[in-house]
Structure 1
């Protein structure tokens, strides 16, 4: 199973069935916060929903189509980071992430993203990492900019969030633009 220590505080672990209770509790406690930008939190109503998500993710991982990881901060599950799509034909991954509201502002997502970006380019031999962010999710847009991603465009009316149409900013980082990361993040 995949696991990577990012630094003394942060570890990434492939999400597995034993994480179902913690994952459900984390989503349940952050449902309103996460629902500002994502359609799936209201659908996660019981531990069985988290278990089903994990099983689908592990199947996708086994088929080399996706990779969902939990983010642990000082040993506690605080969020998720994933390759929502691994496209071997186009040699790109779509990176997604979320973090508990009370863990914002600690640089956790930026540090976790650096590890996943390095993994995409060095281990998966991808040519591009892409991130889709709700246009009004200012903190997440700033993460993309800090990481050196380029804004490639905006998908208008890309998703229906309980009756409100969301626009998504599409950010990309190619292997040619990638400068590498802290040696601790290397695989």
Structure 2
């Protein structure tokens, strides 16, 4: 298990089974909010759901397919940030994230994503980082813009979010642009 220190108050920790009951508490409290942007919260009714997700995530991490980390803010688990996919042949990762509604507006996601961008380019040898967000998900899109991503396009009718069809804004950041901005 590893931990990445982002700053004094924020760290990222490889997902593990002790997160399951905490994730259940967060998602139970924030189910309506999270279900606006994520397809899985309506199905997260018990710890078994999260234990299954954690087991699969650790398996995929061991195979180099993904990396899922808990976001630890001031010693408390408050969300998740991940490389949803790691594509070695394209040298590209796709980042995803979610955060408890109680901790939004503090720059936590922006800082966590910035750390995963740095890791992708400096440790994993990636050439591109991509983020996909529903076009109406303004907070998520602002994270991308704040971190220097370019809007590469919009995919119409990209996802069925719990009965609501949404378009996705696709953002990209390549290594050269990141190095200039950094």
What is the Cα deviation at residue 180 of structure 1? Answer: 7.3
Structure 1 stretches of 4+ moved >2 Å: 179-182
The answer to whether the 8 Å contact 2:148/2:181 transfers is no
Residue pairs, 1:36-185, within 5 angstroms:
36-179=36-179
TM-score normalised by the chain length of structure 1: 0.94
What is the Cα deviation at residue 163 of structure 1? Answer: 2.1
The answer to whether the 8 Å contact 2:60/2:66 transfers is yes
Q: Secondary structure at the match of 1:169?
A: strand
The answer to whether the 8 Å contact 1:135/1:168 transfers is yes
Matched, 1:20 2:28: no
Runs of 5+ in structure 1 lacking a partner? 183-187
What is the Cα deviation at residue 181 of structure 1? Answer: 8.2
Runs of 5+ in structure 2 lacking a partner? none
Report the RMSD for the aligned CA atoms in angstroms. 1.2
The count of aligned residue pairs is 182
- State the alpha-carbon separation in 2 of the partners of residues 125 and 50 from structure 1: 30
In structure 2, relative to structure 1, the CA distance for the partners of 1:118 and 1:135 (3 Å cut) is same
Q: Secondary structure at the match of 2:22?
A: helix
- State the alpha-carbon separation in 1 of the partners of residues 151 and 2 from structure 2: 30
